[in-house]
Amino acid sequence: MKLGLYQCPSPAGDLAAGLARVDEALGEATKAGVDMLTLPEMFLPGYNADPAPQPEAWPQVQADLAALVAQHGIGLTIGLADYQDTGIRNAAFAFGRDGGVLAVYHKVQLFGPREKALYAPGDRLLSFDFEGVTFGLLVCYDVEFPEHTRALARAGAQALLVPTANMMPFVNVNEVTVPARALESGLTVVYANYCGVEGDLTYTGRSLIAGPDGRALAAMGEESGLIAADLPASNGSGLETPVSTQFDDYRVIDRLERR
């Protein structure tokens, strides 16, 4: 199983430009032999674009997106707005090779006052199977909470797909937190970020695929483009360093003394 991510500037509310970029990303990923590609958070309409109200063209955008996936014949995980009667959700959609929706996850940990004003939070974690691999979905800030990563690992996830929109100055998330999440739970994390500027935000870039030993299987700087890596075995065979044994050795302690 080959996993890929595509880092690029945000479409910034331009739905046609966003679909064209998805087409380009899928094309590059197909040529590279990628089985599942991940794109950034709220790619449509764009992370820093106002998602409300729902665009009139949104049903057609969704249909066009599914058609692009089917045309290229690979899996796609992408951040999208999910318009529901109970509010707009910041969502990760996973598509199969035929363009059918495999899973929809709603971001649980909303970041900052802007997200909390725009979106209704999700209320559950989610995993799904794709061609013999169990994937977990998280969105950006979610992965900074080790409880969520560990819960998905305990539920059988072998890899986490994480559309993100991490902005300056939070480069420590890319460089420290994401590798730590992979290492401590012994799974692969695909962390797909933007680069460039969108309104008042400057994105960190630095997308990466972190293996279960915490080392980067593939990583980017601030440029646009595709990176890909084969999904390693969960036991770490073939990796440079051993996988942590913390996941198997952890003892639950529910007593805390204070003296």
Which amino acid appears at position 221 of this protein? Answer: G
**Residues of 170-191 as b/e, b for ≥16 C-beta within 10 angstroms?**
eeebbeebbbbbbbbbbbbbbb
In a domain, residue 212? The reply is yes
For the domain that residue 100 is a member of, what is the CATH number?
Answer: 3.60.110.10
In a domain, residue 257? The reply is no
Active site residue 107: yes
In a domain, residue 65? The reply is yes
The model's pTM: 0.96
pLDDT tens, position by position, 65-101: 999 999 999 999 999 999 999 999 999 999 999 999 9
Active site residue 195: no
In a domain, residue 255? The reply is no
Instruction: Give the three-class secondary structure for 236.
Output: coil
Q: How confident is the model at residue 24 (pLDDT cuts 50, 70, 90)?
A: very high
- Let me know the angle formed at the C-alpha of 166 by 141 and 7, rounded to the nearest 5 degrees: 120
Catalytic residue chosen out of the listed positions 41, 115, 144, 184 = 41
Count how many domains the chain has. Answer: 1
Catalytic residue chosen out of the listed positions 107, 144, 184, 198 = 107
Contact predicate 154/7, CB 8 Å: no
User: What kind and span of H or E run contains 152?
Assistant: helix 146-154
In a domain, residue 158? The reply is yes
Active site residue 115: no
For 176, the domain range is 2-249
CA distance 26 to 32: 10
238 pLDDT more than 90: no
Catalytic residue chosen out of the listed positions 140, 184, 195, 198 = 140
